[in-house]
Amino acid sequence: MSHKQGVRFELAPDPDQTLLMGRHAGLSRVVENFCLEIVQKKWAQRQAEQTYGFTGEDLTKAPWTAPELEKEWRAAHPTRFPWFGAGKLSSRVPKEACRVRATGFATFLKSRTGNRKGAPVGFPRWRKRKHGSRFRYDGDRAKPVDTRAVWLPGIGAVTTREDLSWLTVRLSVSTARILGATVREHAGRWWVSFQLEIDRDDLNLRRAVPQDAPQTGIDLGLTTFATLRDDNGAIQEIHAPKPLARAQRSLARANRKLARCQPESKNWHKARIKLARVHLRVANRRNDFLHKTTTRLTRTKSAIAVETLNVKGMQANRRLARAVADAGFREFVRQLDYKAAWYGSQVWKADRWFASSKTCGDCLTINRALSLGDRSWQCPGCGVIHERDRNAAGNLLAAMLADTEFQQTVLAGKLPGEAKRLVEAM
């Protein structure tokens, strides 16, 4: 069974290759802005024509799709952007930039007509240099040439700082296929990300969760990142590294140095890169913690009960916004979802309004007076004293165990062949 997966490797380009990658990133930005300009102009012209009574085929058509945008670019670049042909830049970058814009337009239209789930999406905006340098290749145009180099059209063979054997072996035996590649710069460092279609069945089978693994409930919090209670009675606490909180002094120092520099001067650019490196280090530490934690949980727990948190609403509280963003709750649950599918675990999500913290785990009385600062509380019904996070984890576990339909799914995942089909048919 094929899965979609992304892998990222850091590049080690020489100065000439760094310059070429910067030019390709600028080309991608120019093409994206060109597509936005064309759509805005033709849409404005179409609206003006409607005021004059034009209808149907007489109206100017706005180029929303990728092929239409590519056609507009091919017609315009010889005169408007002659440096594109003279610079020997890759023709695949504008093609992907048009696809990126077309996807943005399609997402906006679906959101506006109600055909897209989630929060409303606005109209695409102008891409600026400060938004970051990145460009894409379609298909397997960009690909490894050996275990220490990647071929990038228009740039050449670029050395990598990491070994590519994991990818090259799978490409050689046709268990992986490159769907696309994105080259991105952050804090003066460059990475290439491959989007793959890969057969992970053998890998997932070797790392599958044991059949006798416990089921667990997880309560997420800021003081203790995760409190786990297993169905065998074991309790565990996981503490997050809180990288953003630990980096506040470094960030303040880097921001002060940047603010004291003359904008766009050499020292200003140096200070900007130093600030970006601090942010990159914070992001890397958080991602490392989340990936290691979610991998361990999905490989050792047969079923995981988690909360459905309103992270956006939590970040509206200015006193908690930084700590909530530093924790990465949304990313934690997202990683649990796809890794559970890999390793045979199951994820059960409680209803957003499920009162896991306020419900007594003994008599099920709901303590409406419980505040956010109460770390322990006494049940007004039975008098039992609860530790807030452990009680919430136990309530999530109990709710998951009480969901008979979900438990049948968990049982079906543990049984072979005919027994599995019988349970799924119940």
Q: How far apart are CA 363 and CA 383, in angstroms?
A: 10
Of the candidates 404, 405, 407, 219, the residue with the CA atom closest to the CA atom of residue 308:
219
User: Using 50, 70 and 90 to split pLDDT, how confident is the model at 414?
Assistant: low
- Residues 145-175 have pLDDT tens digits of 999 999 999 999 999 999 999 999 999 999 9
Residue 77 and residue 278: Cα distance in Å, rounded?
Answer: 39
- DSSP letter assigned to residue 199: E
Residue 425 has pLDDT above 70, yes or no: no
What pTM was computed for the model?
0.88
Mean pLDDT estimate for the chain: 90
Rg (CA), the chain: 26
Per-residue pLDDT tens digits for 343-358 = 999 999 998 888 888 8
Question: CA–CA separation, 183 vs 21, rounded Å?
Answer: 8
Mean pLDDT value of segment 382-394: 88
Over residues 56-60, the mean pLDDT reads 80
Paired sense of beta strands 385-387 and 376-378, if any:
antiparallel
Identify the helix (H) or strand (E) that includes residue 133: strand 133-138
Residue 82 pLDDT exceeds 50: yes
CATH topology of domain 209-242+281-424: Nucleotidyltransferase; domain 5 (3.30.420)
Residue 114 CB contacts under 8 Å (≥ 6 apart), including other chains: none
User: Over the stretch 317-344, which tens digit does the pLDDT of each residue have?
Assistant: 889 999 999 999 999 999 999 999 999 9
Residue 426 pLDDT exceeds 50: no
Q: Identify the pLDDT of residue 1.
A: 67
C-alpha–C-alpha distance, residues 179 and 141, integer Å: 9
> pLDDT tens digits for 248-267?
999 999 999 999 999 999 99
Q: Among 88-92, 155-159, 356-360, 370-374, name the one with the lowest average pLDDT.
A: 370-374
* Pairing of the two strands 303-306 and 346-349: parallel
Residue 89 has pLDDT above 60, yes or no: yes
Least confident of 52-66, 240-254, 310-324: 52-66
pLDDT of residue 415: 54
Q: Would you kindly state where each structural domain of the chain is located, as residue ranges? A: 2-199, 209-242+281-424
For 360, other C-beta atoms within 10 Å of its C-beta total 20
**Residue among 331, 286, 309 nearest 392 (CA):** 309
Residue keyed to tokens 């315009």: 76
**What pLDDT was estimated at residue 361?**
84
**Token duo for residue 89:** 């830049």
